[in-house]
Structure 1
Amino acid sequence: MSRPPLPPFDADTAAAKVRMAEDAWNGRSPEQVALAYTADSRWRNRAEIFEGRDRIVAFLTRKWALELDYRLIKELWAFGSDRIAVRFAYEYRDDRGSWFRAYGNENWEFAADGLMRRRIASINDLPIAEVERLFRWPLGPRPEDHPGLSALGL
C-alpha cells in the first residue's frame, strides 16, 4: 500500500500532504487516520510516547472522546525530501463546556511509500471563551474557503 504524495516532497506535494492529514483528523475516525501511518510508526504526543497503529487508534479514540467538537487547521512550515514540519491549531470543548484552543508543532518523517513512520508533536492548550472561537465550520473537513492559520493571525 502506498499513500501519495510520496517523498521526495516539493512545496506542492508537502502542502497537499498537510491538507490531507488535516482533513483526515477533522473526520475523527481513528481507524481511518491510522492508515496513513506505518504499522510500526513511532509517536511522541505531548508526554505520551508509543509505537504502532493499534496504539494510534487507541490514542485517537481516547483523544476524541475527551476533546469534543474538535476542529483543526494545519499549515506547512517546512519540508525536506522525506520530512515535513507543520504548525497547527485546533479548538475543542471539554465535557463541562469549557473551550480551548491548542497550538502546536509536528515533525513528520515518511517512508518511501508515503506512510508516516514518525510523528513528534508538541502542544499547548489555551482556555478560550466560546465567543473567541474562530473554527466554526460544521464538523468534518475545513471548507476550502475557510481561512488558514496565517490568514486568521494565529
Structure 2
Amino acid sequence: MTTAVARHSSEAATAEEAVLSVLSVEHTGGRTQFTMSVPEEIFPMIRNLLESGLSLVRWVETQNRVKKAQARAQDPVEREKRLQESLAYCNRILKKYDHLIKSGMAKREAIRETKKYHIGEGQPITCQEIEIMISHRRKLGREK
C-alpha cells in the first residue's frame, strides 16, 4: 500500500511538472522577465489569474493616489498655497485685460486678446472664464 501511495505521489509530481514549468528568468534594469511553459488547456485560467492580480495591483495603486490626494486637499497649507496660486493667476489675467482696455480696445476684443495671450503662454483659458473673472471683480467693487 505504501508503494502505491509512493507511486501515486510521484505521478502527481510528474503531472505538476507537466502543468507548469519556468523555462528562464532574466533580471535587467529593475525588471524581471520570466518564461514559462503550460499546457494549452490551462492557459486561459493562468492568463485570467495573472490579469486578476494585475487588476488588484492597479486598484491598490489607485486607492493610494486617492488617499494622498484627499490628504493634500485637507491640508491647510496646501489649500492656502492653491488659493494664492489661483488669485495670482486671476490677477495676471485681469492685469492683461485692464492694460488692453486702457489702450482703447473694445471689451470683446480685449477679452479675445487676453485669451490669445494666455493660451500662448501655455495657460489655457476661455473667454467665458475671463468674463466671469471680470464680473466677479465688479461685484467686489473694484471696477465701475
Q: TM-score, normalised by structure 2?
A: 0.21
Give the number of the structure whose residues are more often helix, by fraction.
2
Higher relative contact order (CA 8 A, sep 6+): 1
Give the number of the structure whose residues are more often strand, by fraction.
1
Q: TM-score, normalised by structure 1?
A: 0.20
